Structures are given as C-alpha cells and as structure tokens.
Amino acid sequence: MRRALALLRLAPALLALALVVTACATANRIEGGVFHSSKGYSVSLPGGEWQVASGTDADLELRRVAPAGGMLADVTCGGRVADRSAPLLVRQLTFGLKHRTDVRTDEVVVKGRRGARTTLRGTLDGKEVAVDAVSLKEDGCVYDFVYVAPVDDFDDGRLAFQIFVESLTLDSERSR
C-alpha cells in the first residue's frame, strides 16, 4: 500500500518527465552535420561557411556571408498545397522577385520523388539575384528547397545546393 501511494505521489512528476522527453524527441535537431526535422525528414548540411539562421518561418534556413547566399528547406503536408502541380508550387517559391528573366522550369526527379525545378534571375529588395528552387511531392507532402544569391556569387553555391537537395531522406526510409 505504501508503494502504491508513493507511486501516486510521483505520477505527476513522471508524467511531466515523459512529456519533456517526448517534446525533445520530436523537436528539430542537428546531429553530425545532418538536420533532422520534426516533420519526418532530414537533410545534410553543406560546408562550414553555411550557418543556420534563427527566427525564420522555414524548417531550416542557411546563410553564407562570403560569397553571399542563402538556402532553405521546408515541408508542408496535407491541405490544398499537396494537390497543386509541381510547376505551380515551385513558381510560388519565387513570389516577390521582380523583373524576372532567364526563367527556366524543368521536371526533376530526386531519389524517385517527382517535382519541378525553376532557375531564374530577378531583383529582390532592389538587388539583382539568381534563384534555384525545387519542389518535390510525395505522400501528400511538398518538400521545398530554395537557393538565392547575388548574380555574381550564384555559381559558388550551386553544387552545395544540389548536394543539399539530393540529401533529402525521409524518416520512413531510415527505418527500412
């Protein structure tokens, strides 16, 4: 009887501990150069010059000071977004760019996932930039990746971005 009462007294503390452990297990984290999203996917981080940005709406945003550039990864599951075509989704990633030129949209397949890739130039906040944007669809989710840099610095980050996109791994793939 004493043990039962002792356990009852500990129950709130054990419940709180279980909630903390569960929350920690489902939070975004970086381990061994890999970003693990609470949304069930991971991507490899590019080299040391790319730094994780905080306070953004994307799942992961990376910035590089020199040469200047930025990348992001973000996933949306369910809702109307998953019903949209890949070319429309990738075009939406570049809203806000003005004076668009050299726009090219192609179908893309990354690890069996179909999607679209758009590359273009335009102006953003009055500066001429180049953009590479990829949207992939699978199982009701849309996986978005964007790389943007000043036109003169753009080629310096293209390979890192390609590797970043191709590193996409779903948690379900790791458990196979």
Residue 21 pLDDT > 50 = no
Residue 18, pLDDT > 60, answer no
What is the third-level CATH fold of 28-174? Protein Transport Mog1p; Chain A (3.40.1000)
Fill in the DSSP letter of residue 67.
T
Residue 175 is predicted with a pLDDT of 54
132: exposed, middle or buried (Cβ count in 10 Å: 0-12, 13-18, 19+): buried
Residue 141 clears pLDDT 60, i.e. is over it? yes
Sequence-separated (6 or more) residues with CB below 8 Å from residue 79: none
Distance CA(82)–CA(165), nearest Å, equals: 19
Give me the amino acid identity at 23. Answer: A
Alpha-carbon gap, residue 63 to 147, rounded angstroms: 10
pTM across the whole model? 0.81
User: In this predicted model, which residue has the larger pLDDT, 28 or 10?
Assistant: 28
- Residue 92 binned pLDDT confidence (cut-offs 50, 70, 90): confident
